[in-house]
Chain A
Amino acid sequence: MPELEQRLESLGRELAYPDTPDLVRVVGERLRSEAGAVAERPRRLLRVQRRALALALVLLLLLAGAVVAAVPDARNAFLELLGLRGATVERRSEAPPAPTPRSLDLGEPLSLDRARGRVDFRPLVPSGLPAVRAYVRRDVPGGELSLAYGPAPGLPRVKATGLGLLISEFRGDLDEDLIGKITGPATRVQRVTLDGSRAIWIEGAPHLFFYRDPQGLPRDHSLRLAANVLLVERGRLLVRLEGGFDREKAVELARSLR
């Protein structure tokens, strides 16, 4: 081994690392606490089972082509598959089961200026809205920017997010299938063309929203209920606008993105 590499290995053995904390105790306590919560709330078990069912449905989606062709029942259950670069929307004959309510995990909170420097694209921001909270996730290829706006006239508070408007942006060209959605038959899912850009409008009954991991499987911690959503392709970006507003308002917001 060349000398420099040997010196590095030797140095590595001499470094004064910070003391390793007692993770056995802390992790054990957290897991016991979560297990206790399940015992106290039997209904949670049912929700976990429902969530598992939802994930199974998503896995089924991954094999959709083969399954739909081979199994008539699956054809009945599987109504529609719509896709944009970066997102797929699946409509099924049964409403998706509700996942356990969870807090939003949008990433690191940053000022908008700082957030601009942390993503591999030029963010689009709607015009005419008050100050925004920005968040960045780096576990998404190219980074993901989320812009969170509080409730305001025309932007009613959404129970699932506590926000008036949530915009998420990421490079749809880097991961063709990063986010997924499952809707039931009561949810309106409509293809829209917005100033030449492809878009999908999802309205009505809440639908499931989740991220996929690099293997294409859903990341279960990301599974949550979402409100009305407009998904828009803007060049290489996939922009997602979520809120309690109607389609006209969503289109107006999307058009104001600069």
Chain B
Amino acid sequence: MEDRPLDETELVARARRGELAAYEEIVRRYQTIVFRTAWFITRSAADAEEAAQDAFVKAHAALGRFREGAPLRPWLLAIAANEARNRVKSAARREQLAVRAAAERRPGDAVPSPEAALLRREDQAELLTAVARLPERDRLVIACRYFLELSEEETAGVLGCRRGTVKSRLSRALGRLRVGVETADA
């Protein structure tokens, strides 16, 4: 690969011509968002890894059908979500996320006072618990839009629905979450 970073269209063109290094760069760029999206569907790191891996391999095989100039990320996410859904095991134990400990705070973040940090963590933990109590459908649309910060188009691809449906589903999910948070606060 050359030193200057290649734009996505060029990477896709090169990968289509069989340049494996170009495709590996695509994987490098999107592996985190693809893996996390698969995790929110399977809630198993092992299954999410398998789904993400298979998604990248299948996407490589399907590059010839990818519409030139279209954004790659929504396409990859939709393929990964499909792979992840096929791995959802109803009886499996679902992993839960936690809020990062203060020591894991990202570089550059402001350092809050110990009291403020404690309150903030408690507040976030409560909100996370309320999200975890939501039905799967609500949890997933909230995770896509707010945790993964996916666009509406990307969320629609992940959920396998239309963009308009994302809006209505999100609105209902937020309504239920609001009730859950208020009930917990009462």
Contact = CB atoms under 8 A, between A and B. Distances in A.
B72 interface: no
Contacts of B127: 7-8, 11
Contacts of B57: 27, 30-31
B31 A20 contact: yes
A233 B182 CA distance: 50
B159 interface: no
A220 B178 CA distance: 44
Given A16-B97, A20-B32, A139 B86 contact: yes
Contact of B35 (A13, A14, A21, A118): A21
Contact of B95 (A18, A20, A35, A221): A18
A108 B90 CA distance: 10
A21 B62 CA distance: 23
A205 B13 CA distance: 40
B125 to A, nearest CB: 9
Interface string B125-145: 001100100000000001000
Interface in B89-128: 89-91, 95, 97-101, 104, 106, 123-124, 127-128
B163 to A, nearest CB: 14
Contacts of B149: 9, 12
Interface residues of B, number: 53
A22 to B, nearest CB: 8
A234 interface: no
Contacts, number: 113
Interface string B14-55: 000000100110011001101110010000010011001100
A46 B35 CA distance: 35
B61 interface: yes
Nearest to A19: B45
A10 B27 CA distance: 27
A60 interface: no
B82 interface: yes
A252 interface: no
A16 B104 contact: yes
A114 B52 CA distance: 26
Interface of B: 20, 23-24, 27-28, 31-32, 34-36, 39, 45, 48-49, 52-53, 56-58, 60-62, 65, 82, 85-91, 95, 97-101, 104, 106, 123-124, 127-128, 131, 142, 146-149, 174, 177-178, 181
14 contacts: A11-B127, A11-B131, A15-B99, A16-B100, A17-B97, A18-B45, A18-B48, A20-B32, A21-B53, A30-B57, A108-B86, A114-B91, A117-B90, A217-B65
Interface of A: 4-5, 7-18, 20-21, 23-24, 26-28, 30-32, 35, 107-108, 114, 117-118, 137-139, 217, 220-221
